[in-house]
Structure 1
């Protein structure tokens, strides 16, 4: 506003008359409409309610003086005026609710709402969080939140810097708000101070299991994409980083939406800008001639303007605020889904993706309620409701079918490609260039260091560019995103279990060992129906201690009703489950035994030892059939699959052995060396899939190697843990690896990319793993056994199994669990059945 004169009213110094040569009319007659820019001298009288003219006149005169300066100097003077005023404002402690509140922190922060950054003072006390704005733009002069009402706090990115803090409260004036501090250190200090107060009890923000839940079909595509948006610092409360969702449909002309036809869907492996080959070719030609930093797309796929383009009918006042008091040209507004898609497909600078409202709303953002007059299009039609495709009878049906498309099988199998582009490894760098996914450099986090820019005018220009031209989400994945498996799978289990529990004595004689029965003579009414095993309840049925040192491995043999165990004491033990006594104790070597395998015929047990040898022991004849000098260092693990023996060693190799006569027959033949798979580090564990096509090996340095056993070639290698990997399991049907290590983490990794879909800090060393369908049983250093449902990524059960670390676990064919421990005991557990 240009001042030509300023004069005081004679009424108690509470009124001010301003005469100007130009003014702007907003919301005239209380109707939402484009601003009126009026020229010509006119006087305006302002009545002051809480201050006198003396209080505000000096500041008005300073601002008037600044308005006469050149633009660069004008911005500098205004910045200096604002900073000077804000530095003099302190929090008004008379507004504290409780005299006994202790002040923990006072700092400056901005409250972020769509298109508005409101500065103020933040105070943290022992019981409340206060925000006192510098101005009266808020609905109240003070916002206060009881700390016990804070539901969650999340550190957010703002202006491509980690300075934001989103606070969600259960009930308060600030039910959800984003605060922005001056620096990451100030933001972190504010976060830590709030979290340190005893009244704060926030919900856990650790959602690293969401990828696994999504893979297993426990959560929807929509929910998973919204989680990724949140993790990438995108929020409904920040239009500059509004959640972004994909176009999945490209058919906007058919009368029926066919979700079984691949032609219905957009290619999710390509960014919007690369869907048209002709348009992409033009942009690549320009890209080749462009100086650094190069970019393919000068426009972004998500900006405040694009968000309000979609929501213009719902939030017209925001549109006017963003577009300097004007609505867009009627023909350029969001008028038709088909026209919008065609423009995104072929337009020279239109690469818009969608927003969540296209998949989760009542569709009212596409309906013109008549509150605003957006103008008349060139064909004479006024801007009304958005024209829907023929397959949608109304906006509600459109949203419902869009959601159906997002959740359908085709999209579920392809959506990981879009995640790679927006949140993943194709977002930036060389992979982004290969995927034709390169945007203007200023849209990427870390591309501009605003703190290093001292010129306030230059800084303000860059901030405006960042806010208005789009921001690439925070990168969440640096390797290919895992593929979704599909809907949850039920695993019917036939038959019944056998072994149950006792602690030196039998606790349940009836279920210790099931007697054989003639199932053919069972009547139809007495036949055992298929039941599902439930590891959420484990009952101890038997416990015994035979060894002198820690148990290293234990296996059950149902055919012989025996338990076989090996230990660091060098002894191989055989225990009768029926008679509950030791049958044999075999001193195989003076060094520790590391592992054992019972062959399918139940006549032979193979034992690995730290003396570099593998022993073949005959259960039937009670002596060692053969000793295989397998490695140059200790045997750490042995595995048997499809008549092939895999031995792993501290000598950094895995060897594969074959037999001329299968060991399942009575005649024993010596093992013949087939090949050796070399590693860079000592091997701690191996796992082989049932088809003997893939092997994964884990090392003492935290690496996982993925081997193709059909070609005996290395497919992949990735660093999964810090330090030794204690145990590893392979779920070949889901293309997943489960691993645990001395870094205390339990991980579920994608077999092809190594991307973690589940990461859990177990708070103590995880020593052992066993898998049964979707259940993963883990043995901890403190003696606990935990059961996890990896389909839903939830903890089902924790029990104190031993007084020492659980070093080994094995689940038999009848789903009996056996555990061995550093306390030298072996324990059998029976799960529940449904």
Structure 2
């Protein structure tokens, strides 16, 4: 844009000059966002509302607050349609265009102030109706283990889908927690994220069918020979009704009804094995990546607002990679489809038009081939990429995390000591699980560890943060499900360990195997 020149120096007005406290444009925006969400702004927000929309907009209170504007800018001050003099009308329109318009006055009484963060926590503790956000209590995290889901068989997926319908009649009725094991057995367990009487703040009700060969539900095989079976091959619909699976020998994406335990559709559009799946935050689109080097964006079909399967044809087919696609991510809100490949590149397309946007190349000092086994997109569009050098076992920088902005600008990297098996981004945190058995939580913007990694006894196959951000579900190679949450304060640990579920009281010893704290240091 031609923004002219400065009046005195005649210097050309161009890019914004950042203040000294901002390292970059991204840092400037990040710090402004932090400031707008700060305690100071929260404490004074009502004063701004009073000035713009409230009682200080007009009258004596406005005069006292030095908040008076040209009379034409106020709502209802001038009826332009009633003016017959064309010159007067144009003059007033010009004034309004120049001065702007004052918003409608919505309130005539002072607006109450917000609760401070401390007051909000105190109120929440008193009502005792919701769990702690674990990201606000990272030093207090504890791990609890649940056995008997797939003992000795790796747990590939553990997820509590986010939009499950809850009955208002039976309050406290559990949601479904879905698990998928390496032997393709599916479990639908009961999950309650909070109980004031339980020290670990959750109730788990095991699906008894998973251990009985006669009643257990399993996916149709076989899967493609030689394909590594990982959590990226399985997606559960937000209402916990459907399981989408990839990696099948016939290049299909299969859709299974979790309630009926039957395959409801086969979608064969890829020319080679489908290697990874991902769904968006709102459950509108699903993206698949394949060995055929393409990605496909699918619409999740619905009836009456309920997901029932995939559209028969892909919504978009995305090209650009020269080797198989290993990882995908999608954000309908930001119109972004992101794919990572064995060719070492990450490509961004738009969803609506399927338009190629840019190629990202994570930095690597080695000349060996870089691959992109995992990636994730934050709500604000930051792209977190995990890269690995496949051929080498000795390089110090074999594994690394990379951060790119929503506009594809490289921001920073962090060398890792372990091999990441699963990754998710929640708010301003990155949660990763590794094959070396470490659960790590990092700051999104710096990539630094927020706390020391939590050690598990076994390689991690999947990580998932529950929708309340109260627990992290971790699936291990030995078949255990680890539930990481905030330990209850000591003064609240007493109480009866029983609870009404579905109108009947059951002993927690019968329904919760998660009462035992998981201490991997016990057996090394």
Say yes or no: TM over 0.5. Answer: yes
Cα deviation per residue 1:659-693 (whole Å; 9 max; x = unaligned)?
A: 55448427667543323112222111111124150
> 1:552 and 2:195 equivalent?
no
Match of 2:316 among 675, 681, 684: 675
Deviates more, 1:542-551 or 1:766-775: 542-551
For residue 740 of structure 1, give the secondary structure of its aligned residue in structure 2. Answer: strand
Is the CA contact 2:420–2:434 (under 8 Å) kept in the aligned structure 1?
yes
RMSD value over aligned CA atoms? 3.9
Structure 1 segment 299-310 matched on structure 2, within 5 A: none
Q: Is contact 2:421-2:435 (8 Å) kept? A: yes
Kindly indicate whether the alpha-carbon contact (under 8 Å) linking 1:570 and 1:590 is maintained by their aligned counterparts in 2.
no
1:817 aligns with 2:421: no
User: Residue by residue, what CA displacement relative to the aligned partner does 1:311-364 show, whole Å, maximum 9, x if unpaired?
Assistant: xxxxxxxxxxxxxxxxxxxxxxxxxxxxxxxxxxxxxxxxxxxxxxxxxxxxxx
Structure 2: which 5+ runs fail to align? Answer: 40-122, 165-173, 192-203, 210-215, 224-228, 389-397, 490-524
Who is 1:687 aligned against?
Answer: 329
Cα deviation, residue 523, structure 1: 12
Match of 1:741 among 387, 394, 408: 387
2:194 is the alignment partner of 1:540: no
In the alignment, what sits opposite 1:760?
414
Aligned to 1:190: none
1:723 aligns with 2:370: yes
Q: How does 1:614-653 map to 2 (within 5 A)?
A: 614-641=253-280, 642-653=283-294
What is aligned with 2:242?
A: 604
1:406 equivalenced with 2:61 (yes/no): no
- Taking structure 1 as reference, are residues 671 and 773 closer, same or farther at Cα in structure 2, changes over 3 Å only? same
The Cα offsets for residues 170-214 of structure 1, whole Å up to 9 and x where unpaired, read as xxxxxxxxxxxxxxxxxxxxxxxxxxxxxxxxxxxxxxxxxxxxx
Counterpart for residue 18 of structure 1? none
Give yes or no for contact 1:663–1:669 (8 Å, CA) kept in 2.
no
**Separation in 2 of the partners of 1:694 and 1:534?**
29
> Does the residue aligned with 1:727 lie in a helix, a strand or coil?
strand
**Aligned pairs, number:** 344
Contact 1:599–1:664 under 8 Å retained in 2: no
Residue 413 of structure 2 contacts residue 447 of structure 2 at CA under 8 Å; is this kept in 1? no
What is the alpha-carbon distance in structure 1 between the residues aligned to residue 404 and residue 145 of structure 2?
Answer: 34
Residue 621 of structure 1, CA deviation? 2.3
Match status 1:579 vs 2:234: no
1:595 correspondence with 2:233 = yes
- Taking structure 1 as the reference length, the TM-score comes to 0.37
Do the aligned partners of 1:595 and 1:637 also contact (CA within 8 Å) in 2? yes
Partner of 1:406, secondary structure, is coil
Give the alignment of 1:47-86 within 5 angstroms: none
* 1:526 to 2:164 alignment: no
Contact preservation (8 Å) 1:653, 1:677: yes
Q: Distance in 1 between matches of 2:145 and 2:8?
A: 65
Partner of 1:487: 32
Cα distance, 1:700–1:571 mapped onto 2, change above 3 Å = farther
Tell me by how many angstroms 1:483 deviates.
7.1
Q: Which of the pair is proportionally richer in helix?
A: 1
Shift in alpha-carbon separation, 1:739–1:666, aligned structure 2, 3 A:
closer
Residue 565, structure 1, aligned to residue 179, structure 2: yes
Deviation at 1:776, TM superposition (A): 0.9
Determine helix, strand or coil for the equivalent of 2:19. helix
* TM-score under structure 2 length normalisation: 0.57
Describe the shift of the 1:726–1:826 C-alpha distance in structure 2 as closer, same or farther (beyond 3 A): farther
Alignment partner of 1:770 out of 405, 411, 424? 424
Q: Report the alpha carbon displacement of residue 614 of structure 1 after superposing the two structures with TM.
A: 1.9
Give the conservation status (yes or no) of the 8 Å contact 1:698–1:704: yes
Structure 1 residue 620 displacement after superposition:
2.2
